[in-house]
Amino acid sequence: MAAAMPSRQDDNVVYHLRAGDHRMPLNERIGEHLRLAWSGAIACTHCGRATKKSFAQGHCYPCFKRLAQCDTCIMKPETCHYHQGTCREPEWGEKHCFQPHIVYLANSSGLKVGITRKTQMPTRWLDQGAIQALPVLEVNTRQQSGFVEMLFKEQVADRTNWRAMLKGDVEPLDLVAERDRLFDLLADGLGQLRDLHGADAIRTLDEKPLDFHYPVLTFPRKVVSHNFDKQSLVEGVLQGVKGQYLMFDSGVINLRKFTGYEISIA
């Protein structure tokens, strides 16, 4: 599922379902009946081979074990082992990990810290269903962003409570005030990281917070989750889209979890 910023800041995020080069607009289907049926087939999104189970959001097991993008250091960038000569795909690592990354604060189910490649803003925040986001630091490499995130995690969460996010009970925050508060609390730790990696390696940003609005008619009072591995058919009136979730009157489904599944839509 693709998410894009609207042409006007106060409009809703624009969603499309993707299947190869084909895209189906979703915003205009909200309020209508939508039917998703899984054929039972799964294809690896990297090599295309058939697989009985999807690993790491759309990979077959051999690709999951072989690709650098599926290694544990992607989820825990502070554990990067490129310098040890053990990166699964050094050229891929050089292209994706040795480029500027952003450390940000976001509000999706409350205050959280996160990291993303500079080129992934604002896609990262839309995927999380954040209603606000603020870039606070820029670093030179993904591993450095992991070190900074570990420091921030001493004071703030790094995960989204997806149930709270989908219920829509998230109050706006003063992200600039939160940034300044955390900078004060973590000044010594940030100083130590700059001493280790260089003063220019971890740069303070002076950005304005961004606000996001999602196309939702009705938020669920109780979150019931659909799962294609347990049911091949998901249908109902589409009540909204937020993050990577479709919100039906019958429950919600995280489409990213089922990347590579062959789905028919009606």
Q: Which domain holds residue 239?
A: 2-54+215-265
Are residues 105 and 171 part of one domain?
yes
Is the torsion defined by CA of 174, 180, 184, 189 positive or negative? positive
Q: Is residue 9 domain-resident?
A: yes
pLDDT tens digits, residue range 198-207?
999 999 999 9
Please indicate, yes or no, if residue 159 is contained in any of the structural domains: yes
- Tokens standing for 27? 């915003």
Cα gap 232→31, rounded to integer Å: 22
Per the structure block, which two tokens stand in for 79?
């554990």
DSSP 53: S
Indicate whether 62 belongs to any domain: no
pLDDT at 7 (0 to 100): 85
Instruction: Give the tens place of pLDDT for each residue, 99-111.
Output: 999 999 999 999 9
Domains in the chain, number: 3
Residues 178 and 247 in one domain: no
Domain-embedded: residue 230: yes
Per-residue pLDDT averaged across 218-229, rounded? 95
Is residue 241 in some structural domain?
Answer: yes
Residue 134: name the closest of 172, 164, 160 by CA.
Answer: 172
What is the reported pLDDT for 242?
98
The predicted-structure confidence for 11-69, as pLDDT tens digits, reads as follows 999 999 987 678 899 999 999 999 999 999 999 999 999 999 999 999 999 999 999 99
The pLDDT value given to residue 71: 98
| 186 shares a domain with 139 | yes
- The answer as to whether 60 is a domain residue is no
CA–CA gap between residue 250 and residue 259 (Å, rounded): 21
Same domain for 201 and 111 = yes
Q: Report how far apart, in Å, the C-alpha atoms of 257 and of each of 91, 156, 218 are.
A: 27, 26, 23
Helical residues (DSSP H) of the chain, grouped into ranges? 61-66, 72-75, 90-96, 123-128, 142-152, 162-167, 175-185, 187-197
3-class secondary structure, 12: coil
Whether 137 contacts 105, CB under 8 Å: no
Residue 10 has pLDDT above 80, yes or no: no
